[in-house]
């Protein structure tokens, strides 16, 4: 049996991001996110997130605006906070633990395009999951690249570009982010 482009995407296999079925899912997510971003009532915003497919408990908070690819590949633990302006390209799974704080304008990418120009133009892409473990703190404007795992209690400095895994309770900053614990 042939896998759909969505199944390939979620299984970390090269897929075509220009597929019409994926385009339709992104359009549907865009409509719901527009409602979320313009809804003043926090209870109704939570309901919209759940309808989008996000696994988010009532005691966690996402401040609008929020921008995502699909919405349905994000899971958030208890008492976590995502500040305004988050961009989460959830082509792959994004798992955010409990008691996580994410600053404003943080970007989380799971999509990685082909480096070969012809393959990239043809739509070849691969999605690699991102995991942010319990009690991590992601400073404002940080960028988390595909396939990265951030350990429990780690701190990511504002504006950092995280290109590789971060150990539990490490403190990293810079571009590329490096440990600043001496």
Q: What is the CATH number of the domain that holds 50?
A: 2.160.10.10
Instruction: Give me the sign of the Cα torsion angle 59, 105, 165, 73.
Output: positive
Q: In the chain, what percentage of residues exceed pLDDT 70?
A: 98
> Taking the model in full, what pTM does it have?
0.95
Domain count, the chain: 1
pLDDT, one tens digit per residue, over 80-129 is 999 999 999 999 999 999 999 999 999 999 999 989 999 999 999 999 99
Residue appearing with tokens 């959830």 = 90
Residue-level pLDDT at 154: 98
Q: What is the mean pLDDT of residues 38-64?
A: 97
- Is 182 a member of any domain? no
Cα 5 to Cα 177: distance, rounded to the nearest angstrom: 32
Neighbours of 106 (CB within 10 A): 23
Question: Do the domain assignments include residue 87?
Answer: yes
Query: Does residue 80 form part of some domain?
Result: yes
Q: Could you list the residue range(s) of the whole structural domain that residue 57 is in?
A: 5-177
- Looking at the domain assignment, is residue 45 inside a domain? yes
Give percent of the chain above pLDDT 90: 97
- 9-34 confidence digits (pLDDT tens): 999 999 999 999 999 999 999 999 99
pLDDT score recorded for residue 1: 54
Q: How far is CA 56 from CA 95, 112, 175, 180, in A?
A: 11, 25, 30, 32
Mean pLDDT of 65-92: 97
Distance in angstroms (rounded) separating the CA atoms of residues 41 and 43: 6
What's the maximum distance between 2 C-alpha atoms anywhere in the chain? 53
**Residue 164 resides in a domain:** yes
Give the pLDDT band (50/70/90) at residue 181: confident
Asked if residue 54 is part of any domain, the answer here is yes
143 within a domain of the structure (yes/no)? yes
Residue 10 lies in a domain: yes
Question: Beta partners for 149?
Answer: 131
Cis peptide before 65 (omega within 30 of 0): yes
- Which amino acids are annotated catalytic? 113
């Amino acid at each position: 049996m042939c896998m759909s482009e969505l199944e390939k995407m979620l299984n970390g296999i090269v897929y075509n991001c220009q597929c019409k079925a994926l385009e339709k899912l992104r359009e549907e997510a865009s409509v719901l996110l527009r409602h979320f971003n313009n809804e003043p009532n926090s209870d109704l915003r939570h309901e919209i997130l759940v309808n989008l497919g996000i696994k988010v408990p009532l005691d966690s908070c996402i401040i609008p605006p929020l921008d995502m690819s699909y919405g349905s590949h994000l899971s958030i633990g208890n008492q976590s906070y995502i500040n305004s302006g988050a961009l989460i390209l959830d082509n792959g799974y994004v798992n955010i633990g409990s008691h996580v704080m994410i600053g404003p304008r943080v970007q989380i990418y799971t999509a990685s395009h082909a480096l070969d120009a012809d393959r990239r133009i043809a739509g070849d892409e691969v999605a690699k999951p991102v995991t942010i473990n319990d009690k991590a703190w992601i400073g404002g404007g940080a960028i988390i690249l595909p396939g990265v795992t951030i350990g429990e209690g780690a701190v990511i400095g504002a504006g950092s570009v995280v290109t590789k895994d971060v150990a539990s309770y490490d403190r990293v900053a810079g571009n590329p982010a490096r440990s600043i614990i001496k």
